[in-house]
């Protein structure tokens, strides 16, 4: 595609700096991603990697901690050693100018020639964002090329804190230098939504209020907080998943066709659709918090409040279902149901578009509603549920599917990790799959009043059992919002 962000300066030096290099995110995601990009020869040839954190550690110790996540094959061990030879570590504080001057001097040694570019990944707690970005601006900006800053969520806790962070960042950097990362935008099936909608004639005429009854966007995890409840408790499931990942998917499902595939044309349409979304009210939401399943095993025997890191009597929801409404010509009256939760019955992320009943039914109520399902994880798939005549002599009907399961259709294709795509996008300068400041502002407008009401009025979440489908009230919410569940469809699952 001929648009901004498809080319990088392969021959010039690039320095990739991970701030927070000793943390969880760096160990589990950033270092593995950099290794995979290096292994697949997708990075500029002259790239060096710096880690920076307060910890008094070494690059050897970081390597040892990253080992379980790197997926190194036997034949790659020599290349893997070469990757680590390009890695360096500097210990320093996040609010001391001289430490950032030391980092800048270390980086400069590898910037030979007339052009050199820098990337900074802020894998840091939000409490230090402001100090760190000021010190980067004053001491570590690239003098021979561009500097790009990758900002990891959370982008604030509500409208006010998000605006404060946005104002702070925009006072230091231009918007084209900022990459607010939401890793869901790097997932294969989320990226596929654009092509699916705007590259196929078959969907266009039915993608509206006249044909679609409801749209569900679901995120489920089969495990609890796994001892990290204290961190999770600061945010809760709405801030952690719904206000960012699920809302981003909603914009791609609901937006109008952009003028081109230029990143800003796409992001303009995402902002437009968010502007049409009404603010959420408590009556449109079901909140839940998981409790132990006495008949379960392992982690299922502990509820959210049993986690010693969770404050006593916490009302933080671990499950939320919410109905959003888009007040525009295409979607007026169509409920968008967002559901997300921990400690549920399965791991799943999907978009489920349910069409209206067939008008003028001649089959005595036997036809079930058509559904288009886009499965984001696990086992990427796109399938459409539809009615067919049952094979054989009898004239009966049953549900089946048109099935595009990626593991079958693209058997030998390796799908990259979401972070691989997104970090490569930053090297290339493409902001298509990153969140713009006005988009972020609209997202917080939708959720902030609800979040404040939950906290100020201490709205107690409904308990649900570890390993269940979540609170039963969520099923009632779906029924009220034009989603019908027949239970008759059977997915013939292959071994994915």
> For residue 127, which of 154, 97, 158 has the smallest C-alpha distance?
154
The domains located in the chain, with CATH, are 14-152 (3.40.50.720), 185-415+436-481 (3.30.360.10)
Whole-number Å distance between alpha carbons of 491 and 150 = 40
The pTM of the full predicted model, rounded to 2 decimals, is 0.88
Strands 14-19 and 117-122: parallel
Q: What is the mean pLDDT of the chain?
A: 86
User: Going by C-beta distance under 8 Å and a sequence separation of 6 or more, which residues neighbour residue 190?
Assistant: 184, 248, 249, 252, 376
> For residue 482, which of 376, 331, 346, 328 has the smallest C-alpha distance?
331
Q: Taken in order 368, 370, 375, 381, is the CA torsion positive or negative?
A: positive
**Would you say 439 and 274 are in contact if contact means Cβ atoms under 8 Å apart?**
yes
Residue recorded with tokens 């009556």: 283
> For residue 126, which of 150, 153, 149 has the smallest C-alpha distance?
153
Strands 335-341 and 319-325: antiparallel
Q: What is the mean pLDDT of residues 426-434?
A: 83
Q: What angle do CA 473, 474, 475 make, to 5 degrees?
A: 90
Q: Enumerate the active-site residues.
A: 245
pLDDT at 490: 66
What single string gives the DSSP state of each residue in 241-300?
Answer: IIIIIIHHHHHHHHPPPPSSS-HHHHHHHHHHHHHTBPPP-GGGEEEEEEE--TT--GGG
pLDDT, one tens digit per residue, over 253-284 is: 999 998 988 888 888 999 999 999 999 999 99
Query: 355 by DSSP, 3-state: which?
Result: strand
**Would you say 446 and 324 are in contact if contact means Cβ atoms under 8 Å apart?**
yes
pLDDT, one tens digit per residue, over 76-122 is: 889 999 999 999 999 999 988 999 999 999 999 888 888 889 999 99
Q: What percent of the chain has pLDDT over 90?
A: 37
Determine the straight-line distance between the first and last CA of the chain, rounded to whole angstroms: 31
pLDDT, one tens digit per residue, over 358-408 is: 888 887 878 888 888 888 878 777 888 887 877 887 777 777 777 777 667
DSSP state of 152: E
pLDDT, one tens digit per residue, over 31-90 is: 999 999 988 888 888 889 999 999 888 888 988 999 999 988 888 889 999 999 999 999
pLDDT, one tens digit per residue, over 148-205 is: 999 887 788 888 988 888 899 889 999 889 888 877 677 767 777 888 888 888 888 8
**254-274: b (≥16 Cβ within 10 Å) or e:** bbeebeeebbbebbbbbbbbb
pLDDT at 3: 41
Whole-number Å distance between alpha carbons of 290 and 215 = 25
Q: What is the mean pLDDT of residues 313-328?
A: 93
Q: What is the mean pLDDT of residues 228-234?
A: 83
Q: What is the mean pLDDT of residues 472-478?
A: 92
* Cα dihedral: 38, 42, 44, 46 (round 10): 20
pLDDT category, 496, cuts 50, 70, 90? very low
Give yes or no for residue 1 having a pLDDT over 50: no
Q: What percent of the chain has pLDDT over 70?
A: 94
Other C-beta atoms closer than 10 Å to the C-beta of 244 total 23
**Would you say 339 and 470 are in contact if contact means Cβ atoms under 8 Å apart?**
yes
Q: What are phi and psi of 60, to 5 degrees?
A: -65, -40
């Amino acid at each position: 595609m001929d648009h901004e962000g498809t080319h990088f300066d392969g021959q010039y030096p690039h320095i990739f700096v991970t701030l927070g290099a000793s943390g969880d995110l760096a160990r589990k995601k950033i270092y593995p991603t950099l290794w995979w990009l290096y292994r697949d020869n997708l990075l500029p040839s002259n790239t060096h990697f710096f880690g920076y954190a307060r910890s008094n550690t070494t690059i050897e110790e970081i390597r040892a901690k990253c080992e379980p996540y790197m997926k190194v094959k036997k034949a790659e061990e020599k290349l893997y050693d070469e990757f680590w030879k390009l890695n360096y570590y500097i210990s320093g504080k996040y609010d001391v100018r001289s430490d950032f001057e030391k980092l800048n001097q270390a980086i400069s040694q590898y910037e030979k020639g007339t052009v050199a570019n820098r990337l900074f990944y802020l894998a840091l707690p939000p409490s230090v964002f402001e100090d760190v970005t000021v010190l980067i601006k004053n001491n570590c900006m690239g003098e021979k090329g561009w500097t790009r800053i990758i900002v990891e969520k959370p982008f604030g806790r509500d409208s006010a804190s998000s605006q404060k962070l946005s104002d702070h960042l925009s006072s230091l950097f231009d918007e084209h230098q900022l990459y607010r990362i939401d890793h869901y935008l790097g997932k294969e099936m989320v990226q596929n939504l654009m092509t699916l909608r705007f590259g196929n004639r078959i969907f266009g005429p039915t993608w509206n209020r006249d044909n679609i009854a409801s749209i569900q966007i679901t995120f489920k995890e089969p495990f609890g907080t796994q001892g990290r409840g204290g961190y999770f408790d600061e945010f809760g499931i709405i801030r952690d998943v719904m206000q960012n990942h699920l809302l981003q998917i909603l914009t791609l499902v609901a937006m109008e066709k952009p003028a081109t595939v230029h990143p800003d044309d796409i992001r303009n349409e995402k902002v437009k659709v968010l502007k049409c979304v009404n603010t959420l009210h408590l009556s449109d939401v079901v909140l839940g918090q998981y409790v132990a399943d006495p008949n379960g095993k392992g982690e299922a025997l502990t509820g959210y409040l049993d986690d010693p890191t969770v404050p006593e009597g916490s009302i933080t929801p671990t499950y939320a279902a919410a109905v959003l409404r888009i007040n525009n010509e295409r979607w007026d009256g169509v409920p968008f149901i967002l559901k997300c939760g921990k400690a549920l019955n399965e791991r799943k992320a999907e978009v489920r578009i349910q069409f209206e009943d067939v008008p003028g039914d001649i089959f005595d109520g036997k036809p079930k509603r058509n559904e288009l399902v886009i499965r984001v994880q696990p086992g990427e798939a796109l399938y459409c549920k539809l009615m067919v005549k049952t094979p054989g002599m009898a004239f009966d009907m049953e549900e089946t599917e048109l099935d595009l399961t990626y593991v079958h259709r693209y058997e030998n294709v390796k799908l990259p990790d979401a972070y691989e795509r997104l970090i490569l996008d930053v090297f290339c300068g493409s902001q298509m799959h990153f969140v713009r400041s006005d988009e972020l502002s609209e997202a917080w407008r939708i959720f902030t009043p609800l979040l404040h009401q939950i906290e100020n009025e201490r709205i107690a979440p409904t308990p649900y059992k570890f390993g269940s489908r979540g609170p039963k009230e969520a099923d009632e919410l779906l029924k009220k919002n034009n989603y019908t569940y027949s239970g008759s469809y059977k997915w013939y699952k292959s071994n994915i």
